[in-house]
Amino acid sequence: MDLNYITGILTLAGINLMAVLGLSLLTGFTGMFSFGHAGFMAIGGYTSAMMTVKFGLPFIPALLIGGLVAALVSSVIGKLTLNLKGDYFCIATLGFGEAIRLILDNVQYFGGARGWPGIPHHTNLLNVVIINIVAIFILANIVRSKHGRNMIAVREEELASQIVGINVFRYKLISLMISAAYAGIAGGLMAHYMTFLQPKMFSLTKSTELTIIVIFGGLGSISGSVLGALVLTSLPEILRAFSNWRLVIYGLAVVIIMITRPSGLMGGYELTPSSMKTLYTRMKNKNKGLPNQMEGGKTI
Amino acid sequence: MFKKTLALLLVSLMIVTLALSGCSKPATETGSQAGGADASAGDVIKVGWMGSLTGDQAVWGQCELDTIKMLFEEINAKGGVLGGKKLEVIGYDTKGDPQEAVNVAKRLTGQDKVVAILGPNASGSAIPIAPVLEEAKVPDIATVATNPKVTVLDGKVKPYNFRVCFIDPYQGAVAAGYGYDVLGFRKAAILYDVADDYSQGLTEFFEEFFTTKGGTIVAKEAFKFGDVDFRPQLSKIKDANPEVLFLPVFFKEAALIANQARELGITAPLMGGDGLPSEQLFTMAKDAVQGTYIVNHVDYDDPEVQDLKSRYKNKYGKELELNGYLAHDAVVLLVDAIERAGSADSVKITEALETADVKGVTGRIKIGKDTHNPEGKEAAIVKIEGDKYVFQQKYSAKLD
């Protein structure tokens, strides 16, 4: 395997991971499904590319502005749609994602459907890894904070959490904005990796792919999202040896894993030093016939 | 316990897959079966190909790959290139997705160590691979990527990107020029796909050249990829009463539009670009597309074209799609460059490509040093009569 090729796949996995982490907060921890996150990626991507290309800003500030703009847009969308329950919110995001793509198709300032070439190449494996570590650190702290627990409460039982005094709408909005910011930064990373943006890159398929990764990795698990992004981004490339059957096998693999592990790869568990220790002790004691908790998974 | 076993099985399956793909040779097709097996690694020149083998443009991608395989077999049977070296193509699917194209380019240049890449057919895939090519110093010859920005960006030519087709502005200029000057149309309507890069480009340039010539665009309506009902747009177009309806779209939409336009009573002839010619067009809308003018890359009546067409049909039992002709010319261009470079070194091939001047089935291909496009290539105007594309004339337009 060539190093350059592997670096490329890992960079792409890292970019996907960034978007997935945000979506993980929204879907995994707050319990709202979104099929429009590619739209936020597009907003972040185009904004940060505009910052570097047209205004000559350095890479990192451009990324942050991209994330910020995506979060701002999401707050507007959120205010309008977050009162919708369950499936309705999901459909609203779907419409939003497609709308963003079609708007970008028509904005000739950004090259329209023909795309926008000539964006400087800034994204490499090193900065993707660093940004992801920072992102995971922030996300883990959010999830374990009071706010994170409130979000989980909203996920588990909306009505009950409302009764105990959690502002459900507010926490949903915060969750959506943070996840949009993550997606926006991911879009910015993508723009400066591909050096080319085309609205086609942010289609419904991309949104679905992100949601699949979150579910595949395990809802409510950050380490699951990391694992899911790595596995599902590299799988199509690993399967290249099967040529035309590649995508069929890819689909089959996802289906089989979801059947055997309905709660995803990690199933709500985290891979932290302490959990690894517990796992190790349990492995040592497994001859004693203790029920294996990892087996059952967790109901979401 | 059952679940655990299944999970274990699955994990082992994935490991096996990983190991397989890591160790085994990627799915390649050696040009000549016998020759490929005999030749040692040093005698094989690996050429990459990328394009859509899945998705809505899979028909064209498959045709390109098949054509290249066939031509390589023929070349190898005749003794190969550089005095006996065999050509081998390694083809990967991009799904028409820019992201996949970048992955494929990295794989071809890094892992498979190809000397050159042929394809892709989509401009959206050809543009983002440029940095990868530059890093690896491997040339790419795009087949039907007609966006000007594939080879030239901000006035600077990209050192490793080449193509064998003409570009969108040229195609638009030819369509506008032929429609206005030769056919005498003064009022044109356009129906285009707003979400498609090719369609948007062609629309822009057709409009520009048609109006500078003095014509008017009486209606310009858009649809979105995936639409199947065009009656609302067509009704407006009918009210505008155009003399010609320009369709910068692909054959599938064109067939549906043609059928619905005739249903609504639009009698104006249709006109389209290189997205239209396909055998599929006749099966879908034979009666409705009669009399349609198409700006094409290739004159189907040319004897050389006929020869290629029959060779392909004999081998695969299918009609050769338009992409096949351009894939053929890309192969001709590459083989010429390899021979003139005198080695299979990708940098030397790139240098040779810059001064290439060969004759392909789609016309003379003289690569311009500052554009990496085939300069002054004439377009072939064809007209649909019965179930044939009847050649009208070669037509070239001057850009500004």
Domains of chain A: which residue ranges? 3-219
Does any domain span residue B32?
Answer: yes
Q: Within this chain, do residues B390 and B245 fall inside the same structural domain, yes or no?
A: yes
User: Mean pLDDT in runs of 10 for chain A (300 residues)?
Assistant: 88 96 94 94 97 95 97 95 84 93 91 91 95 96 94 93 94 96 97 94 92 91 93 89 79 86 82 80 69 46
Q: Within this chain, do residues B389 and B254 fall inside the same structural domain, yes or no?
A: yes
Q: Within this chain, do residues B320 and B344 fall inside the same structural domain, yes or no?
A: yes
Q: Does B33 touch chain A (CB under 8 A)?
A: no
Residue B24 pLDDT more than 50? Answer: no
Q: Within this chain, do residues B138 and B92 fall inside the same structural domain, yes or no?
A: yes
pLDDT at B20: 46
B53/A101 CB distance under 8 A: no
Does any domain span residue B314?
Answer: yes
Q: Within this chain, do residues B158 and B237 fall inside the same structural domain, yes or no?
A: no
The one-character DSSP state at B143 is S
A256/B10 CB distance under 8 A: yes
Q: From CA B30, how far away is CA B185, in angstroms rounded?
A: 51
Q: From CA B106, how far away is CA B334, in angstroms rounded?
A: 20
Percent of chain B with pLDDT over 70: 89
Q: From CA B145, how far away is CA B159, in angstroms rounded?
A: 16
Looking at chain A, how many residues does it have? 300
Pick the residue of A1, A2, A7 with the most B CBs within 10 A to test the interface with B by mutation: A2
Q: Is the pTM of this model over 0.90?
A: no
> How many distinct structural domains can be found in chain B?
2
Inter-helix orientation angle B303-316/B58-77, to 10°: 100
pLDDT at B40: 45
Sign of CA dihedral B318, B323, B325, B328: negative
Q: Does B149 touch chain A (CB under 8 A)?
A: yes
What string of DSSP letters covers A95-154?
A: HHHHHHHHHHHH-GGGTGGG-EE-------HHHHHHHHHHHHHHHHHHHHSHHHHHHHHH
Of the pLDDT bands very low, low, confident and very high (cuts 50, 70, 90), residue B14 is low
Backbone angles phi, psi at A167, to 5 degrees: -80, 95
The one-character DSSP state at B32 is S
Minimum distance, in Å, between the CA of residue A275 and any CA atom of chain B: 20
For B160, half-sphere exposure in the C-beta direction (CA atoms, 13 angstrom radius) is 25
Does any domain span residue B180?
Answer: yes
3-state class of B244 per DSSP?
strand
Q: Within this chain, do residues B251 and B387 fall inside the same structural domain, yes or no?
A: yes
Residue B330 pLDDT more than 90? Answer: yes
pLDDT at A287: 59
Q: Within this chain, do residues B259 and B386 fall inside the same structural domain, yes or no?
A: yes
- The residues facing B374 across adjacent strands are B367
Contact A105, B197 (CB under 8 A): no
**Which residues constitute the domain of residue B213?**
168-296+380-395
Of the pLDDT bands very low, low, confident and very high (cuts 50, 70, 90), residue B400 is low
Minimum distance, in Å, between the CA of residue A200 and any CA atom of chain B: 8
Q: Within this chain, do residues B130 and B181 fall inside the same structural domain, yes or no?
A: no
3-state class of B162 per DSSP?
strand
Of the pLDDT bands very low, low, confident and very high (cuts 50, 70, 90), residue B19 is very low
Does any domain span residue B74?
Answer: yes
B124/A115 CB distance under 8 A: yes
A121/B131 CB distance under 8 A: yes
Which residues, including other chains, have CB under 8 Å from residue B149's CB and lie 6 or more apart? A114, A117, A118, B123, B127
Q: Within this chain, do residues B185 and B290 fall inside the same structural domain, yes or no?
A: yes
Residue B37 pLDDT more than 70? Answer: no
Q: Within this chain, do residues B240 and B333 fall inside the same structural domain, yes or no?
A: no
Pick the residue of B12, B16, B17, B57 with the most A CBs within 10 A to test the interface with A by mutation: B17
Strand pairing report for B244-247 and B270-272: parallel
pLDDT at B23: 39
Give me the residues of B, 113-142, that contact A with CB < 8 A. Answer: 123-124, 127-128, 130-131, 135-136
Which residues, including other chains, have CB under 8 Å from residue B300's CB and lie 6 or more apart? B306, B309, B382, B388, B389, B391
My answer on whether omega of the bond before B120 falls inside 30° of 0, hence cis, is yes
Provide, as residue numbers in chain A, all residues whose Cβ is less than 8 Å from the Cβ of B156. none
Q: Within this chain, do residues B318 and B349 fall inside the same structural domain, yes or no?
A: yes
Residue with tokens 């274990």: B8
Q: What is the CATH classification number for the domain harbouring B184?
A: 3.40.50.2300
Backbone angles phi, psi at B366, to 5 degrees: -115, 110
Does any domain span residue B21?
Answer: no
Q: Within this chain, do residues B349 and B329 fall inside the same structural domain, yes or no?
A: yes
